[in-house]
Structure 1
Amino acid sequence: MQNKSTMLEGYPKNRMFMGLGILVACTIIVIIIESNIDVHDHNFQPQIVIENNSTCWLREEYQVIEECHPCTEFEVVSKSLGVCINTHYKEVLRCKSGEIVTRSCDHVAEIERRNLIIFTVVCGVLGFLSYMLVYWRERVIYRRAQLKIERQLNRPLLL
């Protein structure tokens, strides 16, 4: 009685390549569809809250003094800084006229950086675990083959 295995070694190579081809084709189709879908609303304008009603950064050149960073808990709760009410993030600008302005900002770069690091670590861990699983499975199959050959060689010859 043959031992049926539950892994892929029982499938012919042409079926595995066909399955792999289907997966690659589906991936390419999904990437094409996602790149053509416009997920942004063209009428959406990001809400930018300006402290002290200063809009010098809209009219003239400005320099970013402090990059977009989170407001303190006190600023958010007490609403002492108006720009911290909506987004909970702020950045400090210096206009060409010398005026220093605080405006709200989105923390997209920070989130993207964190998400990239998390994604990279998760992919690395999953890749390593997959490699270890395949390595272990290969060793089990190799050992079974060795035992089978050993049993066949040790079997007495019937004449």
Structure 2
Amino acid sequence: MIELLSSRKMIVGVIILIIMCILIVILEGILTESELKPLPQRLPVSKGDSSFASLIGNSTEYCWLFEDYSVVEDCGPCTDFEKAAKHLPICEQTGFKKLVNCSKTGKVYISCAPSTAKKFWIFLLIMLSMSLLGALSVKSRIKYLERRMTERMQNKIDCGV
């Protein structure tokens, strides 16, 4: 199939593929720019060190950073009402919330990142199917070219060349 293309058509094809790759990278950057940013990890604060606690004041919003906590409600999307009403400020960060129970402070909603495992497996299955499709097309193309070559050889032999 590639032998049917002129060098000019191949160059145009390669340029089109390069432009498509650049557009995909730009589009991915735009779409994932507002995606989940890495959340800060739990900070090691000693009992005598109150410098971090003084920075955040008496806010219970960050208790999960320096207290022991247990997860009451797993990470889930914020409702449209919560986003519009701005009732929970954590919904503005990532659009997802998790309810935790801090040991001293009590129950608090924190921002969280949704699991990307499902998206990964979907991507993996799509790539696997595309690779299988590519392998099958290569095999059929090789079979076609070999059959064509044997026909040409047979014609040459029949003509006595």
Indicate the TM-score class for this superposition, using the shorter chain for normalisation. Answer: 0.5 to 0.7
Structure 2 counterpart of 1:90, from 97, 107, 110 = 97
Task: Tell me the number of residue pairs that the alignment of Structure 1 and Structure 2 aligns.
Answer: 112
Tell me what 2:3 maps to: 6
Answer yes or no: is 1:151 the counterpart of 2:152: no
Residues 78 and 96 of structure 2 are in contact (CA less than 8 Å); yes or no, is this contact kept in structure 1? yes
Alignment gaps of 5+ in structure 2: 5-36, 42-55
Instruction: Give 1:114 deviation, angstroms.
Output: 4.2
Aligned match of 2:131: 127
Deviations 1:2-49 (A, max 9, x none): xxx729xxxxxxxxxxxxxxxxxxxxxxxxxxxxxxxxxxxx99589x
Question: Aligned partners of 2:70, 2:108: CA distance in 1, in Å?
Answer: 10
Runs of 4+ aligned residues of structure 1 deviating over 6 Å after TM superposition are: none
In 2, Cα distance between the equivalents of 1:101 and 1:121? Answer: 38
What are the within-5 Å matches in structure 2 for residues 20-99 of structure 1?
46=39, 53-54=59-60, 55-97=62-104, 99=106
Unaligned ranges ≥5, structure 1:
8-43
Question: What CA distance in whole angstroms lies between the structure 2 residues aligned with 1:96 and 1:106?
Answer: 22
> Cα RMSD between the aligned structures?
3.4
- TM-score, length-scaled by structure 2: 0.55
Corresponding residue to 2:142 among 131, 134, 138 = 138
Q: TM-score, normalised by structure 1?
A: 0.56
